[in-house]
Amino acid sequence: MDVKRIKTNGVETVFDDEGSGPPVVLLHGFPFNRTMWGEQFEGLKGRHRMIAPDLRGLGETIAAAAIATMEQMAHDVAALLDTLELDRAVVCGLSMGGYVALEFCHFFPERVTALVLAGTRAPADNAEEKQNRERQATRLLAEGMKGIADETLPKLLARETLASKAEVVSRVRQMIESTDPRRAAAAQHGMAARRDYSESLTRIKVPTLVIVGREDSIRPLSDAQFMHSKIRNSRLEVIENAAHVSNMERPEVFNNALSLLLKEISQNH
C-alpha cells in the first residue's frame, strides 16, 4: 500500500486511502494506529473508498505538541476530507477514535452521512479518571510503552482472542509498543480534556451503528446502550467473543454490521 501524506494544521498526516465508492473514514483507538483497520480495508474496499489516517502524534503522523486534543484531531479529519475533495463521509471511530468521531459530529454534522461508534462512550472523564490519565502519562514518559502493553492486553482482548488468535495479539502489542510515549502522553492529556458528548447525542440524526464487544471491560455494554438509547436512528451490535478491539478480534462480524449500515444508507440515497 502506498503511504500517503498531507500537511495541514501544522502536522503531516499519514493515511491509507484505497478502493472506490462512497467514502468511509476510519478513526483508530489509543494507543493504536491506522493499521488496526486492515481487515476492514480488505473486506470493504471492493465497494467503498476506505480512508484511515494516523491521528496526530500516533502511528506515522508526527506532531510535536505536549497535548493532542480531540478537537484538533477532528479538525485534522476535516482537513483530510477537504484535501481529498470529499464533502461528506461515513465516519467510524473506535474508542478514542469514537471520541474524535463525536467531536467531528459536533463541529461538522453536515459532513457525516452515517456514524459508527465502536467500543467508545459519550460522557467526559470524571475527576478520578482524569487523574488516572495524568498518572499514566507520567508513567509512559518515565517507563515507555512496554509495561502498558503487558497490563492492558488482557483487558483489550477477549479470552478467545488471547487463547487462539496469536497474530491479533501480536499486532495489538506491536501497535502499542511502537507508539512514541511522548505522543501517547499527549493523547492522554487530550482525552482527559475532551468535552462531554452525552447531551449532543440526541442531535445526531444520521443512521448510526453502535458496536461493543461483549467482553469489553474498558468501554462496557452499558456505555453502548446509553449511546443507543440517545441516538434515535441507531442500531446496537454486540459482538460475542470480542472485547475492546472488536474490529480485529471478530472482523467478519464487525464488517457484516458495517456493510449492513452502508447498504441501508446507499438504498436511501
Question: Residue 9 or residue 132: which is nearer to ligand MLT going by CB?
Answer: 132
Contact call for residue 67 and ligand MLT (CB under 6 A): no
Contact call for residue 96 and ligand MLT (CB under 6 A): yes
Question: Residue 234 or residue 247: which is nearer to ligand MLT going by CB?
Answer: 247
The only residue of 95, 161, 179, 246 in contact with ligand MLT, by rule CB under 6 A: 95
Contact call for residue 72 and ligand MLT (CB under 6 A): no
Question: Residue 218 or residue 265: which is nearer to ligand MLT going by CB?
Answer: 218
CB of 219 to ligand MLT, least distance (A): 7
Residues 28-57 that bind ligand MLT (CB under 6 A): 29-30
Question: Residue 191 or residue 210: which is nearer to ligand MLT going by CB?
Answer: 191
Question: Residue 23 or residue 119: which is nearer to ligand MLT going by CB?
Answer: 119
Q: Among 6, 227, 238, which residue's Cα sits nearest to residue 99?
A: 227
Residues 198-227 that bind ligand MLT (CB under 6 A): 218
CB of 254 to ligand MLT, least distance (A): 15
Contact call for residue 191 and ligand MLT (CB under 6 A): yes
Question: Residue 129 or residue 240: which is nearer to ligand MLT going by CB?
Answer: 129
Encode the chain in three state secondary structure. CCCEEEEECCEEEEEEEECCCCEEEEECCCCCCHHHHHHHHHHHCCCCEEEEECCCCCCCCECCCCCCCHHHHHHHHHHHHHHCCCCCEEEEEECHHHHHHHHHHHHCHHHEEEEEEECCCCCCCCHHHHHHHHHHHHHHHHHCCHHHHHHHHHHHCCHHHHHHCHHHHHHHHHHHHCCCHHHHHHHHHHHHCCCCCCHHHHHCCCCEEEEEECCCCCCCHHHHHHHHHHCCCEEEEEECCCCCCHHHHCHHHHHHHHHHHHHHHHHCC
Residues 169-188 that bind ligand MLT (CB under 6 A): none
Count of positions on this chain that bind ligand MLT (CB under 6 A): 7
CB of 133 to ligand MLT, least distance (A): 7
CB of 73 to ligand MLT, least distance (A): 12
CB of 122 to ligand MLT, least distance (A): 12
Torsion over CA of 252, 43, 17 and 50, rounded to 10 degrees?
-70
Q: Which residues contribute to the site for ligand MLT (CB under 6 A)? A: 29-30, 95-96, 191, 218, 244
